[in-house]
Amino acid sequence: MSGQRPTWAKIDLDALASNFNWVQNRVGESVKVMAVVKANAYGHGAIECARRLNREGAEWFAVATPEEAIELRRARITQAILCLGGFWEGQEKLCLDESLVPVVYRLDMIEALDRAAGEARKIADVHLKIDTGMGRLGVRFDEVREFADALSMFRNIRVDGVMTHFAAADNPAFDSFTDEQVARFRQAVETLRERGYKPTFEDLANSAGTFAHPDSWGNMVRPGGVLYGLWRDILPPSHTTPELKPVMTLRSRIILLKRIHKGETIGYGCTFEASREMLVAVLPIGYNDGYVRALSNRGRVIVRGTYASVVGRISMDLTIIDVTDVEGVALNDRVTLLGEDGNLSVTAEEIAGTAGTLSYEITCGISARVPRKVKSEY
């Protein structure tokens, strides 16, 4: 870490590979695993993650936007890439030139893609999204018949996949709703096939669906968070702990140690008052790095095999921790803010629970200011 700020995220690509293979073994060889690497692979680094997943046999990747897909193409990722959000006006030719498969859900976007494909003398593969109850993107499940009839006018479009997205597959209390989503999807696919469409892929299952609803697997699943070892707050409770490994570790180092006397306050707003003589440490990481402000006076980190509490408000670039009870603590000691250190750990799910959010948001939020270092560099 010489020559730069001592704050970094370690990315364990071996753990990523293990998680991918765990999912593939779970669904079996007849079901493809589309690796979701949107949002910079949930903050883990899309290019490095895609390259490793490619070596593990991933044939499909999913991103949110064509912009994310182009980043992979420029890194020589040649596998099929699904753009979950579709494309923006004027990106039709880009999708064709870069062999991107957009998700479609409006006739006007399909018309624009059809026109561009005709001019290029190509057939554009798309995945048609059905809204079975999420209420977000997609053709309403009860409007598929009319949409399919209108879709038939476009000669340069091939519906190679049909998909949907679950709203609450992680919650057993909503199992009946998830079952209803599956049923609506099956009916939509049947309607499409009756009208002559022959989609190669039927994909419904996200991470939660892959784990809890085998009847939703179709012939391709779309795991996201579980690939990165995020599961405790997005998979339903189970007696079986999945064999998933966290991929990201977030660390920093102590840049200052100082004494705080009883009655003195710490940080912006004076929100922490010392109830005893204290030794505190300053870390060069803050909310601009993605160490969220909601952890102020509530978070914990690991120093020398001991948990240490965050004290005072987390600021943009700095965080203060209480190291009074950390034996032998010294300047430049390594601090683990996310991940495992010896027998102790701070999980993304724990941080999310403290901050009142989801583990995905924690890893996605680790900013570009924090360098990612793959395991082989350590």
Q: b/e string for 262-278 if b means 16 or more Cβ within 10 A?
A: eeeebbeeeebebeeeb
- The dihedral built from the CA positions of residue 39, 41, 43 and 49, taken in this order, carries a sign that is negative
The pLDDT of residue 376 is above 60: no
CA torsion angle 254 260 263 264 (round to 10): -70
Q: pTM (2 decimals)?
A: 0.95
3-class SS letters over the chain: CCCCCCEEEEECHHHHHHHHHHHHHHHCCCCEEEEECHHHHHCCCHHHHHHHHHHCCCCEEEECCHHHHHHHHHCCCCCEEEECCCCCCCCHHHHHHCCEEEEECCHHHHHHHHHHHHHHCCCEEEEEEEECCCCCCCEEHHHHHHHHHHHCCCCCEEEEEEECCCCCCCCHHHHHHHHHHHHHHHHHHHHHHHCCCCCCEEECCCHHHHHHCHHHCCCEECCCHHHHCCCCCCCCCCCCCCCCCCCEEEEEECCEEEEECCCCEECHHHCEECCCCEEEEEECCCHHHCCCHHHCCCCEEEECCEEEEECCCCCCCCEEEECCCCCCCCCCCEEEEEEEECCEEECHHHHHHHHCCCHHHHHHCCCCCCCEEEHHHC
- How confident is residue 242, by pLDDT bands cut at 50, 70 and 90? confident
Catalytic residues: 38, 268
The pLDDT of residue 11 is above 60: yes
The pLDDT of residue 153 is above 90: yes
All structural domains of the chain: 13-228 (3.20.20.10), 248-346 (2.40.37.10)
- How confident is residue 377, by pLDDT bands cut at 50, 70 and 90? very low
What is the per-residue pLDDT across 23-70, written as a single tens digit (0 to 9) for each? Answer: 999 999 999 999 999 999 999 999 999 999 999 999 999 999 999 999
- How confident is residue 264, by pLDDT bands cut at 50, 70 and 90? very high
What is the per-residue pLDDT across 174-229, written as a single tens digit (0 to 9) for each? Answer: 999 999 999 999 999 999 999 999 999 999 999 999 999 999 999 999 999 999 99
- How confident is residue 378, by pLDDT bands cut at 50, 70 and 90? very low
Specify whether the CB–CB gap between 145 and 153 falls below 8 A: no
Using a pLDDT cut of 70, give the percent of the chain over it.
98
The pLDDT of residue 278 is above 70: yes
Dig out the tokens for 234 from the structure: 């997005």
- Rounded to an integer, the average pLDDT of 245-258 is 98
The pLDDT of residue 240 is above 80: no
The pLDDT score that the predictor gives to residue 194 is 97
Specify whether the CB–CB gap between 162 and 192 falls below 8 A: yes
| Whole-angstrom distance, CA of residue 344 vs CA of residue 342 | 6
The mean predicted confidence, pLDDT, of the chain is: 96
- How confident is residue 367, by pLDDT bands cut at 50, 70 and 90? very high
The pLDDT score that the predictor gives to residue 375 is 80
The pLDDT score that the predictor gives to residue 348 is 98
Question: Packing angle between helix 144-151 and helix 107-120, nearest 10 degrees?
Answer: 20
What is the per-residue pLDDT across 111-122, written as a single tens digit (0 to 9) for each? Answer: 999 999 999 999
What is the per-residue pLDDT across 309-353, written as a single tens digit (0 to 9) for each? Answer: 999 999 999 999 999 999 999 999 999 999 999 999 999 999 999
